[in-house]
């Protein structure tokens, strides 16, 4: 309900992490929760996926059951390391500083052009970009054949 009328250029991510709610769940239950969230949002016309750590994706959910969804992986190393699924975004730090923002912030790399993907698919309440007008060059000879006798530039 919160995002119902929002136009979003990036996916709606399900953030599943270590907390009281997930601590006592089984791998199957955690995986089912991700699938339920993503399926519901996709059925509502949103591009969605799972945000989690590489360790979470490897040990706390069944990644073989999540191949249909996009992944945004958090791994704070020089590379994401071995990730069991393809990922569209990588959060490489939670400890960055940006001028004008108090405190530390996350930094990420997006490997996909999500705005274009989402817009072209007509998801997240975005309309596809209109095709640019085709410019056609007509030669003077073609204009004469069309009946034009004088041309003023």
Q: Which of 65, 129, 61 is closest to 73 using CA atoms?
A: 61
- In the chain, which stretches have pLDDT less than 50? none
User: pTM for this structure?
Assistant: 0.79
Q: Which of 42, 46, 49, 34 is closest to 87 using CA atoms?
A: 49
> What was the pLDDT predicted at 116?
93
Contact between 107 and 93 under an 8 Å Cβ cutoff? The reply is yes
> Strand locations in the chain, DSSP E?
12-15, 48-53, 70-74, 89-96, 105-110
Contact between 14 and 133 under an 8 Å Cβ cutoff? The reply is no
How do residues 113-129 score in pLDDT, each as one tens digit? 999 999 999 999 998 77
């Amino acid at each position: 309900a919160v995002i119902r009328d929002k136009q979003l250029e990036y996916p709606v991510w399900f953030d599943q992490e270590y907390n009281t709610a997930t601590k006592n769940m089984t791998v199957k239950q955690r995986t089912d929760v991700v699938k339920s969230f993503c399926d519901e949002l996709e059925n509502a016309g949103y591009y969605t996926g799972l945000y989690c750590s590489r360790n979470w994706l490897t040990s706390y959910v069944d990644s073989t059951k999540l191949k249909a969804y996009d992944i945004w992986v958090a791994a704070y190393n020089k590379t994401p390391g071995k990730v069991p699924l393809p990922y569209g975004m990588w959060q490489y730090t939670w400890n960055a500083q940006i001028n004008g923002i108090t405190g530390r912030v996350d930094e990420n790399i997006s490997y996909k052009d999500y705005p274009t993907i989402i817009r072209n698919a007509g998801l997240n309440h975005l309309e596809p970009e209109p095709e640019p007008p085709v410019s056609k060059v007509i030669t003077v000879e073609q204009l004469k054949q069309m009946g034009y006798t004088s041309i003023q530039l």
